[in-house]
Amino acid sequence: MKERKSKFLNSSQIELKNTYTPSDLPDQNFSDNLGDPGEYPFTRGVQPNMYRGRFWTMRQYAGFGSAKESNERYKMLMEKGTTGLSVAFDLPTQMGYDSDHIMSTGEVGKVGVAVSSIEDMEILFDGLPLGDISTSMTINSTAGILLALYIAVAKRRGIDPKKLRGTIQNDLLKEYIARGTYIYPPKPSLRLITDIFDYCSKEVPEWNTISISGYHIREAGSTAAQELAFTLANGMTYVQAAIDKGLDVNLFGKRLSFFFNVHNNFFEEVAKFRAARRMWAHIMKERFGATDPKAMKLRFHSQVAGSTLTAQQPENNIVRVAYQAMASVMGGTQSLHTNSMDEALGLPTEKSATIALRTQQILAEETGVPDVVDPLAGSYYVESLTNDLEKKALDLIERIETQGGVVTCMESGWIQSEIQNAAYQFQKNLEGGSEIVVGVNKYVLENEPPFETLKVSEAVANEQIARLKKFKSGRNADEVASELAKITDAAKSGANLMPHFVSAVEKHVTLGEISDALRGVFGKFQEKITL
């Protein structure tokens, strides 16, 4: 019988059969490969009852302009039912520059909120119950400083840091591989990460100290199998670095979390999440000697794929977001961010952000999907695909290790090249018509109506800079100099930097000043260009 295509492939170039039967799972062992939900190897989920107990945390990634504007957006989202905060920071904050720095010109508040000082952080979280909610902060090179600011604000409110819950992304390796908002070379970057692991295990024990991110790897053009392999390989690198520093894998391993993309191929994404949990459980137990089951669990946040959003016919993105969100829930996510339909055009409006949140709420309350744990388990297709993705990812991890590990492969450009080749192949397929994106290369509208977007006024940047300069002028200059000298000394000596960050921001030292002190010791990373 004639079929639409000569061959059906998913993003990982796994050829899909017409039909799947028990013969596709000849070596499947229930206890070894699946087990019960909440039990090793956690293929079916990290909790026995998953969403029958409580729904996943519903986050909306938000932050733009000033701290005051972002605070108003957070309050709006909480009023409409979001159950966790997710903070986007502007590019200067990500790169370790204060808003008044020459390198910040034209970028203040544009792709996230501008935060330079403890004053900014206080305004950002004004009126929000820090002791009761979970806060996720998408930040990397400056993660320790932003966490210090968050801790300092909590302490000012009389909140015990031991009660704080949330996550900092803090994944520097993926910045070198896929995104580019790095500051320091890999070695001091890994040192900063393990400093945070160590500090938080004692002082902020409920905080997730890293969110190992496959999201940006996938956004850069990787396949699902590459996202899985490169993310877990990065995770293995962080675990080894922490063990080399003398940290207990059963202690810090409990606070590791992951961040995955949810792309278009529904069943491939579900299988990817199931394979990730099983692989990580085996890695932590067999490779790193973890004995506490909590340290073997892969807990993850997911976000629907920004790269699949189209500027053409943006209302179509509502549909894409909905089924990507369902794949995430079917795959057992712990928290989820749904993109707004207009994010290919600009910052989300209040209306589009509300629709994105309502998408999660409808999925939770109306579909019945959360009522059964791992409802796709036992599907010959899903189980076979889970096994296939695991094998492809393990093969890639083996290639990484054969070449000397993640840092070596990153410095040589091999990982970047693998992602670039996958992205190039997809673009060729799109232009050739073998990949279809509705509204882009099929079912195109000649004359599309205008679409309202949110724009950040330059006046916001001017107000932020003026307030920051006033803040700096009112400080004790000797205290600032003393704190910066302590940070420089600690950076040189190898002492844990986190206590110095907390002390410094409490004394009104800014994010940019701390970052400059570290740049003076660690230097800046220069990317090797690969052709």
What's the rounded Cα separation, in Å, for the pair 510 and 495? 21
Measuring CA to CA, how many Å separate 184 from each of 174, 466, 521, 525? 13, 29, 10, 5
Given its phi and psi angles, is residue 443 left (phi above 0), alpha (psi -120 to 50 degrees) or beta? left
Token duo for residue 8: 């059906």
Query: Of 72, 178, 63, 179, which is closest to residue 110 (Cα–Cα)?
Result: 63
pLDDT in tens, 149-169: 999 999 999 999 999 999 999
Residue carrying structure tokens 């506490």: 292
| All domains of the chain in start order, with CATH | 22-432 (3.20.20.240), 469-522 (no CATH)
For residue 139, pLDDT beyond 90: yes
Given a contact cutoff of 8 angstroms between Cβ atoms, the answer to whether 248 and 209 are in contact is no
Q: Which residue has the higher pLDDT, 142 or 454?
A: 142
pLDDT in tens, 64-112: 888 999 999 999 999 999 988 989 999 999 999 999 999 999 999 998 9
pLDDT value of position 511: 98
Given a contact cutoff of 8 angstroms between Cβ atoms, the answer to whether 227 and 217 are in contact is yes
What does the pLDDT average to over 343-351?
89
pLDDT in tens, 246-270: 999 999 999 999 999 999 999 999 9
Q: Residue 531 — very low, low, confident or very high, per pLDDT cuts 50/70/90? A: low
Q: What is the mean pLDDT of the chain?
A: 95
pLDDT value of position 530: 53
Backbone angles phi, psi at 137, to 5 degrees: -120, 120
In this structure, how many other beta carbons lie within 10 angstroms of the beta carbon of residue 134? 19
pLDDT in tens, 440-457: 999 999 888 888 887 777
Note if the bond before 41 is cis, omega within 30 degrees.
Answer: yes
pTM of the model: 0.93
DSSP-derived secondary structure letter, 356: H
Output the DSSP codes for 23-50: GG-TT--IIIII-STTSTT-TT-SSSSG
Compute the CA torsion angle 96, 100, 106, 107 (nearest 10 deg): 30
DSSP-derived secondary structure letter, 89: B
pLDDT value of position 267: 98
Q: Half-sphere exposure of residue 466, counting CA atoms within 13 Å on the CB side?
A: 6
pLDDT in tens, 306-341: 999 999 999 999 999 999 999 999 999 999 999 999
pLDDT value of position 65: 84
Residue carrying structure tokens 């034209």: 106
